[in-house]
Amino acid sequence: MSSLLRIKFLICLGLAVLSFGCGEQDRFTGGQGNVERPLVYPQTVAARPKIIAFGDSLTAGFGLSETESYPYLLQQRLNAEGYDYEVVNAGVSGDTSLGGSERAEWTLEQQGAKILILELGANDMLRGMPPARMKANLESIIKKAQELNMKILLCGMFAAPTLGTEYQQEFNTAFPDLADQYKTAFLPFPLENIAMKPELNQGDGIHPNAEGTRMMADNIYNALLPLLEK
């Protein structure tokens, strides 16, 4: 993404921060509130190794049909390329790193879970959660996955400039620092070449539309390739 497009995207996120309207409890405890959470995940086939797509609305497919979500598209791409994996959509719209850490154990301990795609952090930023807390929550998820001998693809995100230079720097560096510390695969920005392009996004300017999500699925697939086995 060009510097100009990235700046515009961060400004858009900054406006979301200013209009989010969460209380003090939301800001410092994760603010799960009325976040939509699935009661059960779809039944899966134990015999196939699983890729757990673990994240927020970008993973869940906010504003899209199930067949337009990136985990579904990733499954189709894997099938077409001859990879025998089952992709599990464990995305929850509105989820934070805290919510992720609270559901990680029962989500990751599925039979046959081999790879984790970890995409969380944007809602922490929108709620103004201290980056150190977000980083600690993501770290707990990474550690849990590694205890289960799972390979990990960590997806990064950028903070809005309205939160200040110090916050922005601490937030932005949390993701590559974790990837380096725990030797995970790393995708700096899953919305590369998508963010701030009206034709690739929904009306909110943040969530990709069907075409943008297809590009996001390609970005994630390319970063996932080194972790795959045939």
Q: What is the mean pLDDT of residues 93-100?
A: 98
Residue of 5 and 198 predicted with greater confidence = 198
Among candidate residues 95, 97, 124, 207, the one labeled active-site is 207
Among candidate residues 84, 177, 180, 204, the one labeled active-site is 204
Active site residue 207: yes
pLDDT given for residue 207 in this prediction:
97
What CATH number is attached to the domain comprising 180? 3.40.50.1110
With respect to residue 33, please indicate whether it lies within any of the assigned structural domains: no
Active site residue 65: no
Residue of 26 and 228 predicted with greater confidence = 228
With respect to residue 36, please indicate whether it lies within any of the assigned structural domains: no
Report pLDDT digits (tens) over 173-189: 999 999 999 999 999 99
With respect to residue 72, please indicate whether it lies within any of the assigned structural domains: yes
What's the number of domains the chain is made of? 1
With respect to residue 212, please indicate whether it lies within any of the assigned structural domains: yes
Q: Two tokens at 128?
A: 């103004």
Q: What sign does the dihedral 69-72-75-76 (CA atoms) show?
A: negative
The beta strands (E) that lie in 148-187 are given as 151-155, 185-187
Q: Two tokens at 71?
A: 């985990």
pLDDT given for residue 7 in this prediction:
52
With respect to residue 74, please indicate whether it lies within any of the assigned structural domains: yes
Taking CA atoms, 148 is separated from 55, 89, 92, 140, 216, in Å, by: 18, 19, 22, 13, 27
Beta bridge partners of 51: 87, 115
- Predicted TM-score (pTM) of this structure: 0.84
With respect to residue 48, please indicate whether it lies within any of the assigned structural domains: yes
Active site residue 95: no
With respect to residue 124, please indicate whether it lies within any of the assigned structural domains: yes
pLDDT given for residue 46 in this prediction:
53
With respect to residue 29, please indicate whether it lies within any of the assigned structural domains: no
The answer to whether 129 touches 96, Cβ cutoff 8 Å, is: yes
Q: What sign does the dihedral 96-101-106-108 (CA atoms) show?
A: positive
Three-state DSSP at 118 gives strand
Q: Which of 43, 67, 152 is nearest to 104 (CA)?
A: 152
Burial-class residue 109 by CB neighbours within 10 Å (0-12, 13-18, 19+).
exposed
Among candidate residues 26, 56, 57, 97, the one labeled active-site is 57
Burial-class residue 208 by CB neighbours within 10 Å (0-12, 13-18, 19+).
buried
The range of the structural domain enclosing residue 129 comes to 3-24+44-86+96-227
pLDDT given for residue 9 in this prediction:
58
The answer to whether 58 touches 216, Cβ cutoff 8 Å, is: yes
